[in-house]
Structure 1
Amino acid sequence: PTGFVLDITSRLAFKILRDDPNAQLVLHMHGAGGTVGSGHRVSNYRALSAGEPRKIHVLTFDYRGFGSSTGIPSESGLILDALAVVDWAINIAGIPPSRILIFAQSMGTAVGLAVSQHFALQSPPVVFAGTVLVAPFVDVATLSATYRVAGTIPILSPLANFPLLINYFKGYIRDKWLSKDRIAWYVRANEANGKRYRLTIIHAEDDYDIPWHHTPDIFWHAVNASVPDGISYDNLELKKLESKVNLGAAGSVMEWRTSNGVIREEILKTGKHDTIMGYPVVTMAVMRLFSAPESSLACQT
């Protein structure tokens, strides 16, 4: 059957998810372009469950104002929508957070970080199996200075050489989406609480929608928050020279480990903004986070 159902709990897919004690759930938070049914997302859904198709379920949804969902999109509204989905997964489907993974792309990464941060700050704290961010951005103000629609039409980048003018326009941005701050708050909360956490950040160098240099910035904010005295961006770059794994044409991987968490940065040479979503790197990220034992954590020196 296809189309909308009044009671999803009556569907076989829901019963399989709820009744299987080993079921794992990926909560998918999509970007600003299109809806859950957009053609370019189909390969992503397949990649998310490909590693263990009999065990991994994927739940995606349209935020308010997207697809058939009513309402007007806003930062607070989209976050509330995502929190409602997580609440449904935990309290209706009965899936514990340890078997839930937050997966997000593009604008969805800001939503996913807000959700992860929200639950990490609860009492008691709630931490999921992991969070995967594909093509994240530092914040909307920074993104607006570089963003190009379809990788071609610039928004504010022509004004980049006029700081006063671009700052004037930035002042009219309503939804800030401060991902760099949220990822830092998330990491600090887990470090302070001694909670196990795992973050994977993925970006392609040929992403012309959200330039890939946003990911090293996001990665640094996360790593900096994991160190009691902090670490400068330049010092982290020096650490990368020592520890980063160069995969040649496939890109590079850098992991930062603490006694509580793993923060992983994967930079691919190719994949653009959406094509990467169907790549094996996505499947491997999901499998790595779902299967990672707590004992694998080690201190970074």
Structure 2
Amino acid sequence: MRKRLEPVALERERCAASGSSSSGAAAAALDADCRLKQNLRLAGKGPAEPRHAADAGMQRALGRRKGLWFRLRKILLFVLGLYFAIPFLIKLCPGIQAKLIFLNFVRVPYFIDLKKPQDQGLNHTCNYYLQPEEDVTIGVWHTVPTVWWKNAQGKDQMWYEDALASSHPIILYLHGNAGTRGGDHRVELYKVLSSLGYHVVTFDYRGWGDSVGTPSERGMTYDALHVFDWIKARSGDNPVYIWGHSLGTGVATNLVRRLCERETPPDALILESPFTNIREEAKSHPFSAIYRYFPGFDWFFLDPITSSGIKFANDENVKHISCSLLILHAEDDPVVPFQLGRKLYNIAAPSRSFRDFKVQFIPFHSDLGYRHKYIYKSPELPRILREFLGRSERERQH
């Protein structure tokens, strides 16, 4: 009986082994199939991922472009709004135009002590303070001729005032807008004129530099008149010439017209880079270029100047001047156009007031690069002044 059962058990074991073997094979086959399908799915996803990343990158780039355009549009709208707002602001506040014409708040060069002209290389210069009106004080520099350089060392104001009575002629210099009497190009001109044997007296108008007061055309003219009278009270019979530059030409012609009307004209008038009147100069100034063709330009920009009492009418003043006139102008002047200086000469030359006096116009070619404030560099300037002022002196004596 046991012998008959043993073969059956062995058969069952073989079947079980066979079954387990076949099921393991099946499981292995199933695992292999699953791995294959997974690999196929992964392989199928492979190309889709880069496309998704590229789309995301493109969207980010588009987002950045939209953000940049949005910012640029905001800036553009702000600039346009400011462009259209400025004319109305100036019209409503005419004082803004006066500030822009005078530019007295621009003190260049900075950090200099106007009480010490020697710091600017003017070792033969004395600083004064005069009082044209109550509550108005103006700072004055007096530079003696270079030949007196050694004698001037350590001298006080009284010595300088007495020196005005010497045999050397005197130039009253009226500077333009912005800066002070210590401006670089102005100091260089003082040195040139001093080397030619002239006393140079210059000052800052009320509101400029360390001068006290509020700027105005009337006030500037009165300051110049006060300094002129102060010079004449000390200079005896010495010739006194008036030199105006840029905006200072407007002060100079106002002053000389007034002096001629009271029959005490200066010995000659020199205008460097002059204009005809302040309206034409404002319209021709480079800063006005972006508004020059703006509708109502005159009403918005020029009328406020007139309403502020600012005219500087050189073209009218020269018709009432009875002394010799010299006009110096560089062709490449970017601030006061050359044609305005030429136009002023054409107005002055045929004027009856000048029938007994010399009127001369000296242009400086643009290749020289003298622009608005460097005519002092001209090697011809000493000869020009010597001939013109020498002739004026002879006319005065006759």
For the aligned pair, the TM-score class normalised by the smaller chain equals: 0.7 to 0.9
* Structure 2 residue 373 is the aligned partner of structure 1 residue 274: yes
- Whichever structure has more helix as a proportion of its residues is 2
1:173-203 CA deviation, whole Å, 9 max, x = no partner?
02111111111122xxx3xxxxxx2100010
Quick one: structure 1 residues 216 and 108, their matched pair in 2 at CA, closer, same or farther if it must change by over 3 Å?
same
Q: Is 1:177 aligned to 2:312, yes or no?
A: yes
Equivalent residue for 2:235?
94
**Partners of 1:64 and 1:6 in 2: CA distance:** 12
Q: Separation in 2 of the partners of 1:217 and 1:167?
A: 24
Distance, in Å, in 2 between the alignment partners of 1:280 and 1:10 is 33
**Paired position in structure 2 for 1:286:** 385
2:203 matches 1:61: yes
Partner deviation per Cα, 1:152-185 (whole Å, 9 max, x = no partner): xx1x233333463334321100211111111112
Correspondence for 2:173: 28
The DSSP-based 3-state class of the residue aligned with 2:231 is helix
The aligned residue for residue 127 of structure 1 is: 265
Matching of residues 245-260 of structure 1 within 5 Å: 258=355, 260=356
| Offset of residue 276 of structure 1 | 1.2
Deviations 1:78-121 (A, max 9, x none): 00000000010012x1334x610001100111111111111111
User: CA distance change for structure 1 residues 28 and 47 in 2, over 3 Å: closer, same or farther?
Assistant: same
Opposite residue 177 of structure 1, the aligned amino acid is F
Q: TM-score, normalised by structure 1?
A: 0.73
Identity %: 25
Separation in 2 of the partners of 1:208 and 1:293?
A: 31
**Distance of aligned partners of 1:27 and 1:296 in 2 relative to their CA distance in 1, 3 Å threshold:** closer
Partner of 1:241: none
Tell me which residue corresponds to 2:87.
none
1:72 is the counterpart of 2:214: yes
Q: Which amino acid aligns with 2:359?
A: I
Secondary structure of the residue aligned to 2:160 is helix
2:187 to 24, 42, 50: 42
Q: Aligned pair 1:13/2:160, yes or no?
A: yes
Going from structure 1 to structure 2, the CA distance change for 1:79 and 1:294 (only over 3 Å counts) comes to closer
Closer/same/farther in 2, CA of residues 6 and 44 from structure 1, 3 Å limit? closer
8 Å contact kept, 2:242–2:266: yes
Separation in structure 2 between the aligned mates of residue 5 and residue 115 of structure 1, nearest angstrom: 21
Q: CA deviation at 1:296?
A: 6.7
Q: Which residue of 2 aligns with 1:159?
A: 291
Q: Which residue pairs with 1:263 in the alignment? A: 359
CA distance in 2, matches of 1:200, 1:274: 16
Q: Structure 1 residues 108 and 219 mapped into 2: Cα distance closer, same or farther (>3 Å)?
A: same
Structure 1 residues 5 and 262: CA distance shift in structure 2, 3 A? closer
Q: 1:225 aligns with which of 351, 366, 372?
A: 351
Correspondence for 1:116: 256
C-alpha distance in 1 between matches for 2:129 and 2:278: 37
**For the residues of structure 2 that align with 1:23 and 1:115, how far apart are their CA atoms?**
22
Q: Does 1:143 pair with 2:275? A: no
Q: How has the CA–CA distance of structure 1 residues 41 and 184 changed in structure 2, closer, same or farther, with 3 Å as cutoff?
A: same
Per-residue displacement from partner, 1:127-161 (whole Å, max 9, x unpaired)? 2221110000111111111113xxxxx1x233333
Q: CA deviation at 1:281?
A: 4.1
Q: Distance in 1 between matches of 2:196 and 2:129?
A: 31
CA distance in 2, matches of 1:179, 1:293: 21
CA distance in 1: counterparts of 2:129 and 2:395, whole angstroms: 43
Equivalent residues, number: 243
- 1 CA distance for matches of 2:393 and 2:223? 30
Contact conserved, 1:99 with 1:129, CA < 8 A, in 2? yes
Compared CA separation, residues 281 and 49, structure 1 to 2 (3 A): farther
Greater Cα offset, 61-70 or 4-13: 4-13
- Which structure's relative contact order is higher, taking Cα pairs within 8 Å and 6+ residues apart? 1
Distance in 1 (CA, whole Å) between partners of 2:201 and 2:215 is 20
Gaps of 5+ in 2: 1-114, 118-126, 131-141, 143-155
Alignment correspondent of 1:237: none
Unaligned runs of 5+ in 1: 149-153, 191-196, 228-256
